[in-house]
Amino acid sequence: MSRETAVLAIDLGTTEVKAGIVALDGRLLGLARAGYATDADPATGQAEQDPEAWWGAIGLAVHELVRLDVGDVVAIGIDGHGPTLVAVDEVGRPTHPAIIWQDARSVAEQATLAAATGLRGWSLAGLPAALWLETHRPAAAAATRWYLATWDFVAMRLTGRAATSLADDQPFPDSATLDATGLPGAKVPSPLPAGSVVGEVSDDAAAALNIRAGIPVVAGIVDAWASYHGAGMARAGDAMDPGGSAGGFGIYWDRPLDVAGSFSTIAPLPGLYSVGGAMAATGRAVDWFRVDILHGSASTETLIEEAGTIPAGADGVIFLPYLAGERSPLWDPSARGAFVGLALGHGRGHLTRAILEAAAFAIRHVAESILAAGAEVRSMRVCGGPARSETWNQIKADVTGFGVEVPAVLETAVMGAAIVAATGVGAWPDLPAAMRGMTRTARGLEPDPANRGRYDAAY
């Protein structure tokens, strides 16, 4: 197979890393993945991961891509889950397990930092977890030189340089403000614009990943924004369901919107704002049902096929998808899931259908207050593994009333990281141009009026 100029995109998700070789015109030439575990304790709210396990998984995935030998890599782009805190020493070795975005132990620290900085929610990034670490894990804090985001950790392991990657105009507190809260500002690296070059692949990283040294590494972004880029979101009214283990809904708008239960931030594109929210576990609910309840007796594809034979509304079965509490728009870590309306005539197809519908209702729940604040949806992109299912895509269209677009490359975070990398090394003049040149829509779906009324009543 002929080789062509390409970028290596590393998407560090919550449950697995995906690494892709992406041509400069957006074709996905190769994809590999490897997983890792989460150490979670619902009783305490703990949710942690081992950053060394991430690095090992990245190595496995990249080695597989190298064996494919499909592209001449001229840049590396990174995105990662967040807000997640990675505490490391001077050379990038973890001093404590990463405190991931599902962790619920830093509620008090969030309030402290919000009062001191005027920022809230995702705008605080991993800072609440860092303040929690300083207070509750003093030995680990004393050994820590840098507090990093997931994508900044990967960049440091690749290049040896610590930096805080921020989107243009993204607000971030200064060191003095952090010092006043008890969080040493000197442990937060200097900001670097996302899309700029952090450094080059070091000899050690090259040996670990079996790639050449000297490849430029571009400052990364959170996986949600990478997915937005990779789905081609570029205009006010473009909306997205990023799929993934959590599920979510986001929309670009031409002005900031203050919406209870959601976040409004400056978007990573000029003149736009991002407003939306992320749920806790709607994307994982099908896997939970298949593995933990059905003990793997049926494939995901079989379950969704059976769900497609069940009428809209699942014959009265309703699923509350709060298997890990809930984030947007409820923000209640104590919320719990349930099946409601069960009867003897219901089977696993009904329960699967109810789970798929619950994910769509969760999107509608987040979107409802955003639309009430003045936003309007042009269309909603659906991404990730769930977007492979036409049944699930149609359910989302019917429940929300939004037209649904399916990108040609469903691994939109991988594509978004590639877009940022390609722009960062000058292959495209700017992000909008790269998005136009590297993303495509495969197909679209419209809501079925026959089902919409039934879902309105159920909602």
**AA letter at 167:** A
The answer to whether 348 and 294 are in contact (CB under 8 A) is yes
In sequence order, the 6+-apart residues with CB closer than 8 A to the CB of 67 are none
* DSSP H helices in 77-210: 107-117, 127-136, 138-143, 150-159, 175-181, 203-209
Q: How far apart are CA 391 and CA 309, in angstroms?
A: 10
Q: How far apart are CA 356 and CA 158, in angstroms?
A: 39
Residue 68 confidence (pLDDT) above 80 = yes
Find, among 268, 283, 233, 23, the residue nearest to 122 by Cα.
Answer: 268
Residue 2 confidence (pLDDT) above 60 = no
Q: Which residue has the higher pLDDT, 432 or 121?
A: 432
Q: Which helix (H) or strand (E) holds 55?
A: helix 51-68
In sequence order, the 6+-apart residues with CB closer than 8 A to the CB of 234 are 252, 269, 432, 435, 436
Helices and strands in the chain: count of H runs, count of E runs? 15, 23
pLDDT in tens, 325-365: 898 999 888 899 999 999 999 999 999 999 999 999 999 99
State the chain's mean pLDDT as an integer: 94
Distance of CA 457 to the CA centre of its chain: 31
Q: How far apart are CA 211 and CA 209, in angstroms?
A: 6
Q: How far apart are CA 249 and CA 456, in angstroms?
A: 19
Tokens representing 229? Answer: 């880029």
Residue 288 confidence (pLDDT) above 60 = yes
The answer to whether 205 and 159 are in contact (CB under 8 A) is yes
Place of tokens 């992320």: 278
Tokens representing 334? Answer: 């104590």
**AA letter at 386:** P
Average pLDDT, integer, range 286-313: 96
- Give buried/exposed letters for 411-433 (b at 16+ CB in 10 A, else e): bbbbbbbbbbbbbbbebbeebbe
Residue 176 confidence (pLDDT) above 80 = yes
Q: Which residue has the higher pLDDT, 325 or 186?
A: 186
Q: Which helix (H) or strand (E) holds 367?
A: helix 348-372
What is the pLDDT confidence band of residue 275, given thresholds at 50, 70 and 90? very high
Where would I find the beta strands (DSSP E) of 243-370?
248-253, 263-266, 273-278, 318-320, 338-340
Residue 1 confidence (pLDDT) above 70 = no
What is the structure's pLDDT at 384?
86
Could you give the count of Cα atoms lying within 13 Å of 140 in the half-sphere of its Cβ?
21
Find, among 415, 409, 287, 420, the residue nearest to 356 by Cα.
Answer: 287
Average pLDDT, integer, range 158-162: 98
Domains annotated on the chain, with CATH: 4-219 (3.30.420.40), 232-459 (3.30.420.40)
Residue 16 confidence (pLDDT) above 70 = yes
Tokens representing 376? Answer: 């309007």
Q: How far apart are CA 302 and CA 290, in angstroms?
A: 10
Q: How far apart are CA 198 and CA 120, in angstroms?
A: 27
pTM greater than 0.75 (yes/no): yes
